[in-house]
Amino acid sequence: MNTKYTPKLKRNVTLPMLILYGLGNIFGAGIYVLIGEMAGIAGVYIPLSFLLACIIISFTALTYAELSARYPKSAGEALYINAGFNNTTLSTLVGLSVALAGLLSSATILHGFHGYLSTFIQTPETISILIVVTLLSAIAIWGITQSIIITALLTLVETFGLVMVIYVGFEHVPLNIQTLQSFIPPVEMTLINSIILGAFLAFYAFIGFEDMVNIAEEVKVPTKTMPNAIIITLIIATIFYAVIAIVSISVVPIDELAYSSAPLAKVYETATDSKATILSLIALFAVINGALIQIIMSSRIFYGMSTQGWLPKFLSIVDPRTSTPIYATILAGFLVFILATLIPILTLAQSTSFMIFIIFTLVNASLILIKIKDPKPRGIRTYPIVVPIVAIILNLTLLGFQIVSLF
């Protein structure tokens, strides 16, 4: 009997590779400017804002950890929604929303790339974006192993930049009881409110872990690797953010930090009395890494939805040599280029985060419905049903604050 072989995605991604992939997406370029904005809100209590943000997002992260083990396939959120609500239309809309959020993020990132690049080389923005998108799409098509290795290396470069700031600034941190006590706020509603508002902003610094689930079909032993990677990535990011926050407020006065457009560069320059050129280069790599990860993520959503019959079939075609969804990747790269070139200044951060809160809420609601039908699947680590319930309350609260802030 002659059966035609259909190429499939290969499970080549290991736990360390997946953690670096997740950290590359979480760190991105945001932390290089976020500290300054948080200083203007939370003051010296920035570390507490980061810890609070971690607690808030950890409930949704645990939901993703369980769902990624239950359904280790591409197009993660779309599959989760379908499993819970059994609604193809809603699943398709959620999948496309996740992909759109990633594409918008990547397009925005590429505008930032041109800004950083222009400090070294002067080129027309359209040309520089076209070259970078073509290069990143080619890397994504090359193979998931090669792509993850490159994102891992770029993540190490990003992390090195953060380590460098910690290293030069740590000697300025007074390690004594008085300093530790200064991080504990008095019970005053004004201060507590500032810490909470800082946590709302810090929440965005943790967004990115959810994109890890969209390459689950290429992960080795996904039922164990996916949950472990999500939890470990969140812990590592929290530690880095808290330490960076402590170093920053120890080296630079809060007022100067709050008004700095490049706060980590300001920390480096203050601590070393030298220019922070190396940090600008690292930020350039961080931008490239963020765009590459979003292109990979979006292409896997297109691929996964195509395999479910929710998008055209050609998007599920896997190249037999590279084991990557070639047409889905080309489409992702093309859409990023169109968005980046047609919209000169993207002010869509609020729209993107609005979609993310909606998606997080629906994913948590889906897990509740799934748990009611199948509470304890064999071989899967599960969490109490209170986890997605609390996550929904927290996400709706954040969504409410965002809506109020628009008026």
The DSSP letter of residue 275 is -
Domains of the chain from N-terminus onward:
15-405 (1.20.1740.10)
pLDDT tens, position by position, 364-405: 999 999 999 999 998 899 999 999 999 999 988 888 876 776
CA dist list (Å): 316 to 45, 116, 285, 353 = 48, 35, 30, 28
219: three-class secondary structure by DSSP: strand
CA dist list (Å): 95 to 17, 281, 312, 371 = 24, 34, 14, 21
d(CA 268, CA 166): 9
Quick check: 277 pLDDT over 60? yes
pLDDT at 344: 52
Classify burial at 224, counting beta carbons within 10 Å of its beta carbon; exposed 0-12, middle 13-18, buried 19 or more.
Answer: middle
Cα dihedral sign, 160-165-171-175: negative
Tell me which range, 20-29, 35-44, 131-140, is most confidently predicted by mean pLDDT. 131-140
Q: What single letter denotes the amino acid at residue 342? A: L
Quick check: 345 pLDDT over 50? no
CA dist list (Å): 219 to 74, 215, 223, 286 = 10, 7, 9, 23
Residue 1: pLDDT band by 50, 70, 90 thresholds?
very low
pLDDT at 279: 81
Q: How does the average pLDDT of the chain come out, rounded?
A: 85
Q: CA neighbours within 13 Å on the CB side: how many for 46?
A: 28
With vertex at residue 233, the alpha carbon angle to CA 140 and CA 191, rounded to the nearest 5 degrees, is: 125
Give residue for tokens 């998007």: 315
pLDDT at 93: 92
pLDDT tens, position by position, 101-124: 888 878 877 776 766 677 677 888
Task: State how far Cα 12 lies from the chain centre.
Answer: 21
- What average pLDDT does range 228-257 have in this prediction? 91
Task: State how far Cα 224 lies from the chain centre.
Answer: 21
Give residue for tokens 């599960």: 382
294: three-class secondary structure by DSSP: helix
Share of the chain above pLDDT 70, in %: 89
